[in-house]
Amino acid sequence: MPELPEVEVSRLGIEPHIKGRTVEEVRIHNGRLRWPVPEEVAQLERTAILAVKRRAKYLLLESEAGTGILHLGMSGNLRVVEKNEPLKKHDHVELLFDNGLALRLNDPRRFGAFLWQEPDQQHSCFAKLGPEPLTDLFDANHLYQASRGKKVAVKQFIMDNHVVVGVGNIYANESLFKAGIHPKREAGKISLARYQKLTPIIKETLAAAIEQGGTTLKDFAQSDGKPGYFAQELLVYGRKGEPCVQCETILQEIRLGQRSTVYCTKCQR
């Protein structure tokens, strides 16, 4: 599933092509996504895209008429192409712009979404989200206070979108390794000092992934069709049975919350 860096890379990829441009037509080729595409998205027609923003893993196309909300789901990707380029299989939604370009949502598994938010309203999908990890609202004190009394494993804790958005499986694995924290440690038993170490590492790990174009995943490509390159630098994720880069202990894998969790038994406590 595309994680926060991949979604941010998509935002950075499409923004220069569509910000300030007028939507001439909204075409729904298959509206049966995770939720049915609402008819209201047609209100984007004949309006300009004022901003392209991201909240958690959602992309927001803001206009005076309202906001189109895109989610890539498990296998979705966005491409900016010439509007007369033939559709590809699984191109479900496209926006045609006044500059001759089209933004297309391609989603083989159809777990993505294209939702609508009226002006000055907040869609229900944003109601209970925690702070963005790359903002000042996310800090060690926030993690420490939110974790008190929590018996859940710290890896699941930092992946909880109610606590902080966008710290997906890959980056939780990597951040906990760099901070030397065992992924199964109870969140409520981790000290403020250790959260003070973990928090900037999460920020740095996500920022590095965005800088390098998102992690290369089977189903992910940037808006220009090129994959990301951060996967070359993964220290533990996907490396079960390989030696730890720090101590050469063989990395172990367990399942936490049905997700693959790879860690070093020596370096992470």
pLDDT per residue as tens digits for the range 166-199: 999 999 999 999 999 999 999 999 999 999 999 9
Contacts of 261 by beta carbon, 8 Å cutoff, 6+ apart: 155, 169, 173, 183, 253, 254, 255
Catalytic residue check, 57? yes
Q: Do both 107 and 159 map to the same domain?
A: no
Q: Based on the domain organization, do 119 and 158 belong to the same domain?
A: no
Q: How confident is the model at residue 259 (pLDDT cuts 50, 70, 90)?
A: very high
Query: Which residue range(s) make up the domain with 221?
Result: 140-263
Active site residue 3: yes
Domain CATH for 146: 1.10.8.50
Q: Which of 126, 161, 178 is the last residue of a domain?
A: 126
> 3, 6, 15, 174: which one is catalytic?
3
Evaluate whether residue 23 is within a structural domain.
yes
Domain termination site, one of 72, 95, 126: 126
Residue 218, pLDDT above cutoff 70:
no
Could you tell me if 187 and 251 lie in one domain? yes
Does residue 133 lie in a domain region? no
Residues 40-96 pLDDT 10s: 999 999 999 999 999 999 999 999 999 999 999 988 889 999 999 999 999 999 999
Q: Are residues 149 and 120 in the same domain?
A: no
240 is catalytic: no
Q: Are residues 165 and 218 in the same domain?
A: yes
Q: What is the pTM of this model?
A: 0.89
Tell me the per-residue pLDDT of 94-142, one tens digit each, with 9 for 90 and over: 999 999 999 999 999 999 999 999 999 999 999 999 999 999 999 999 9
**The pLDDT value given to residue 220:** 53
- When the pLDDT of each residue in the chain is averaged and rounded to a whole number, the result is 93
In a domain, 132, yes or no: no
**What is the model's pLDDT at position 226?**
62
From CA 26, how far away is CA 3, in angstroms rounded?
Answer: 26
Residue 78 belongs to a domain: yes
What CATH number should be reported for the domain holding residue 87?
3.20.190.10
| pLDDT value at residue 231 | 64
83 assigned to active site = no
- Give the model's pLDDT for residue 146: 98
Inside any domain, residue 134: no
Query: For residue 131, is it within any domain?
Result: no
Tell whether 194 and 250 lie within a shared domain. yes
User: pLDDT tens digits for 157-169?
Assistant: 999 999 999 999 9
d(CA 70, CA 78): 10
CB 249 within 8 A of CB 232: no
Both 110 and 145 in one domain: the answer is: no
Residue 135 is assigned to a structural domain of this protein = no
How confident is residue 6, by pLDDT bands cut at 50, 70 and 90? confident
114 and 144 part of one domain: no
Residue 269 domain-assigned? Answer: no
Identify the active-site residue in 55, 197, 203, 259: 259
| Partners of 81 in the β-ladder | 102
- Asked if 159 and 240 sit in the same domain, the reply is yes
pLDDT for 216: 53
Query: How many domains in the chain?
Result: 2
pLDDT at residue number 133: 98
Kindly name the residue from 11, 54, 57, 155 that is annotated as catalytic: 57
Of 67, 93, 126, the residue at which a domain comes to its end is 126
- Helices assigned H by DSSP within 159-244: 169-179, 192-211
